[in-house]
Structure 1
Amino acid sequence: MAQLSDLPIRDDLRGQTPYGAPQKAVRVALNVNENSHPIPADVAVDIVESLAAAILSVNRYPDREFTELRESLAAYLNFSVEPATRLTADNIWAANGSNEVLQQILQAFGGPGRSVLGFPPTYSMHSIIANGTGTRWIAGERDADYELSPETVTRWIEETQPDVVFLCSPNNPTGTPLSIETIEAAYAASSGIVVVDEAYAEFAPEDVRSAVTLLDGRDRLLVSRTMSKAFAFAGARVGYLAADPAVTDALRLVRLPYHLSALTQAAAIAALRHAPEMLAMVDNIRDQRDRLLVELPKLGYPVLNSWANFVMFGGVADSHALFEALLEQDILVRDVGIPNHIRVTAGTEAETTAFLAALAAL
């Protein structure tokens, strides 16, 4: 049997490792920032009925432009974000998870001979997608406590002149906020594409502005989002972005034909019909996140400020040892490779209680 090293793989991919998080059947899974709450029964029924209707025409290719889904996503953003200028379907793009959206962005605006600036520790797929598209990855530096100020982002952009800038708001894996002023500064300093990854935006305080509110007049600003987290739709794989209509025209040049199945479109449209009900789960998740922010320091573990559905805590003598000790208690958290730190998702009240109890016992 051949090994990977035996194959004529691209030289720039040799030695790289794929994205991976432990997949284990455990009692309490708090490692990949899923929404632990089940989809409400009436929403599930609507989704199933929509899927059943879509099945009847699955012998035909789906709507290549996924028009109804884009209209539904635009309506959701207009309702939940209140952008300065009302968004239409022309402002929206969607794909199989926000990772595919980010990949298509770099296929269109990155690639060989071009560069993308990110600020680790940040979402690990940013650099992996850069490598996969042949885009040179530039690792910028963050400020204290993993924050990112307007001055820091401006300095890095002016020094490196990247073709694309990736910003994470709030940041993953640290959960730390990204100010609207930092996004404005990044756009002003850059002559290229600025991507704001807002995968966890719905968990931020309600008075915090989304980068979507900055789109008017900024044709190089792209805001990526997902239905995986707040909508409890991780298994459905639906990500999207909001941007100037010219951006969606660019992404059409690199997308695969009919890349969103009829079933994916039907399920997402049905879920969006119930947006207020789906988002009711967010308040409970915020409560459990805030509970972690209070209770972990009481156990001797300092925490980073989080606007996401997870908390990063420090003070861990041996991150891997704590990961394994919790796993023995059938609780799965995430060792993200930051020394003396562990990340834990805010689960249901019962899951959060089980995690805190196990940690206290240890």
Structure 2
Amino acid sequence: MNSEAELTRRSLILGSVAGITSLSGCLTDAFNHAIGSSRNINIKSQVFSDVIVKEAPNSWGPLTEMTCIVSPLLESKLGITRAANIRVNRPRSAYDPLMSVAPYTVTLGDYVNEQEHDGQTIWMTQEGMDQIHVSTGWLVSVNRVVATSSVSNIKSAQQKNECIEQVTGDGSESRPLFIAANGGSYAPNTGSQAIQCASDTSTTAWVRRGYSNPSDSTWMTSSADIHPSSYPQLAKLSEYDHPYDADRLAETVQFELVIEFATQNIDGIKIGGLAQQSRKELLRDAIQENVGSQISVEVDSVGTDPLTLANRLSEDSQHGLYISQSDAVLKNHWETVVSGVLAYLQIED
């Protein structure tokens, strides 16, 4: 069975011809060249050290392990507003086996003011602090860009427990866009599905891969919570031209069709998104025919949040298809699902 890091035979042939040694880096370089100066979006990493961590009082609202509150001073320095994603690192030694970095979504903040809460401070729940193994009083560093630019291939990302972006294609809005928002450890092979579909249809893919050990969910961020200001390639793809605004619906590019691959903790495959019911049923039937009757494929309400990437990047937010798959499907049948998607696209044509 192929792993997510493996290439298909077609990709291997193309890579050999082009002399490609790093898939992710070459895909990104090709994408940047293809879109050229027409999308002059420049999201830059900016790191602030010596940020103090504190546990958020329960009275401040329903924070989760994936959300945080930042002080007004830190918010101003980062140039972010509510709903942005940030990358939080704690100091670690070369022999530290624990995860030391994770993404958080900035939220709430109604109880924080400059007079009472000055300085560079970030508030989390206890579960949020456990993500990167810190306690109240620890000093961490905060970056307004989540995906690293220092690693360009899957193998290095796996070794360093990192989060990377991969893009391929020319970003044409008149053709499908394929997305995997949580590829890597959390939703293995969804990244391969998106890139394979884009390769076989000569279209565009955006993949976010996060690798973590021992936890598979450290880099997991809900598709609806992913902010383009934290992902330079996503910002460039979507022409998000006001990088640190909180409005995730401000992308100017709207693709005619967006298909997103995701995971779920129940058996089978669910088809959702805000695309027309008839489109979802056609996709369901095409995938069912390819995977066989032993796997349940149903139209469901998954991926129907307007902020889910498949929806907000599609034309009028009404042309997003969301494919949610069980662990077993992603492990053993991910290529068959791709075949079903390709069959569906032929029907649509």
TM range (shorter): under 0.3
Structure whose residues are more often strand by fraction: 2
Structure whose residues are more often helix by fraction: 1
TM-score (norm 1): 0.23
**More relative contact order in 1 or in 2 (CA 8 Å, sep 6+)?**
1
